[in-house]
Amino acid sequence: MPNRDYVGRFAPSPSGPLHFGSLVCALASFLDAKRNGGVWRVRIEDIDPPREDPKHSATILAQLVNHGLQWDGEVVYQSQFLKDYQRVLDRLQTRQLTYACQCNRKRITQLGGVYDGHCDALDLADADRAIRLRVRQAIAPCTITIDDQVMGHHYQDLLREVGDFVLRRRDGLYSYQLASVIDDHRQGITHIVRGSDLLSSTPRHRYLQQCLGYSAPDYAHLPLAVDLHGNKLSKQNHAAPLNHAAPSKTLWQALAWLQQDPPKALLGAPVEAVIAWATAHWSLGRVPNVPQQPSPTDT
Ligand SMILES: [Zn+2]
């Protein structure tokens, strides 16, 4: 029987196929779940259609299977839960924790990333406007410390560093912050292992969890995978696609990157053997907390 006290997940958006950096996140969250006898879920975060293509969902799932990362249960697609997001948003609105914002992109940019609450007093109608969550009302503590299992203490003063944040965009799309917090709660996620590019979002997630009375999962944020020039490997930076013909080699490289010290003899072993070794030897404590470059495997 799986350990129901550990439910992990991998939650990619279908904005492109997996690359080395996103595969590392999938592998680490899979191994941490399996090492703890837990459940590992896959959730496709497909709620930003202008930036996505459904064909990438199928590609991502095929890439996971090809690398031996088999999920538990059904794959969840966020696009099937839009009514849930609206229901929770309605609840927050009923409690007068939100307000409509008509600020344009230029004004938001000029504010430098910290919203000043300008529209709070205007009492605007919701239609065709962004909906923001009131942080300044401080219904929950807005100074937040995350005890991250890899990155250590991460402190953020939401009021000073973020301000009231968007839950639904002007174009009607739900924010990543709102949807992922609701889904982690609905799916009973207890442990989140993901890339450190999301660490700055985590205090907003914790704040929302507090507003909604949700319990907080444990967090582990992995360092970024970077290229030789220190740039993040990402779809935007045209990171090299995964080699579908050599999943074992990629897994070995990912394990080395995660400083799990895979034996050289494992290089080129069947995928199942690499995953079995990696699960038996997985140690979150070994994962580095500074950006890493993929190491060459041509030895
Ligand atoms: Zn505004």
Q: How far is the CA of 132 from the centre of ligand 1 (A)?
A: 9
Say yes or no to pLDDT of 233 above 60: yes
Q: How far is the CA of 175 from the centre of ligand 1 (A)?
A: 16
Q: How far is the CA of 163 from the centre of ligand 1 (A)?
A: 11
Average pLDDT value for residue range 89-112? 94
Q: What are the backbone dihedrals phi and psi of residue 10, each rounded to the nearest 5 degrees, phi first?
A: -120, 130
The burial of 97, by beta-carbon neighbours within 10 Å (0-12 exposed, 13-18 middle, 19 or more buried), is given as buried
Q: Which helix (H) or strand (E) holds 131?
A: strand 130-133
How far apart are alpha carbons 264 and 268 in whole angstroms?
9
Is the Cα torsion angle 51, 54, 56, 61 positive or negative in sign?
A: positive
State the pLDDT at residue 235.
67
How far apart are alpha carbons 7 and 32 in whole angstroms?
10
From residue 254, alpha-carbon distances to 18, 72, 150, 156 in Å are 13, 22, 17, 30
Tokens of 46: 């497909």
Quote the percentage of the chain above a pLDDT of 70: 96
Tokens of 105: 């992109």
Q: What angle do CA 11, 244, 228 make, to 5 degrees?
A: 75
What's the pTM value of the predicted model, to 2 decimals?
0.94
Q: How far is the CA of 212 from the centre of ligand 1 (A)?
A: 23
Quote the percentage of the chain above a pLDDT of 90: 84
Q: How far is the CA of 109 from the centre of ligand 1 (A)?
A: 12
Q: How far is the CA of 46 from the centre of ligand 1 (A)?
A: 26
State the pLDDT at residue 36.
97
Note the pLDDT tens digit of each residue in 48-76.
Answer: 999 999 999 999 999 999 999 999 999 99
Say yes or no to pLDDT of 123 above 80: yes
- Reported confidence tier of residue 299, pLDDT bands at 50, 70, 90: very low
State the pLDDT at residue 298.
45
Q: How far is the CA of 103 from the centre of ligand 1 (A)?
A: 4
Average pLDDT value for residue range 182-198? 97
Report, in angstroms and rounded to the nearest whole number, the Rg of the chain calculated over CA atoms.
20
Look at residue 221 and give its three-state secondary structure. Answer: strand
Q: How far is the CA of 168 from the centre of ligand 1 (A)?
A: 13
Q: How far is the CA of 181 from the centre of ligand 1 (A)?
A: 23
How far apart are alpha carbons 114 and 214 in whole angstroms?
25
Q: What is the mean pLDDT of the chain?
A: 93
Q: How far is the CA of 108 from the centre of ligand 1 (A)?
A: 8
State the pLDDT at residue 294.
80
The residue among 240, 273, 170 whose CA lies nearest residue 20 is: 240
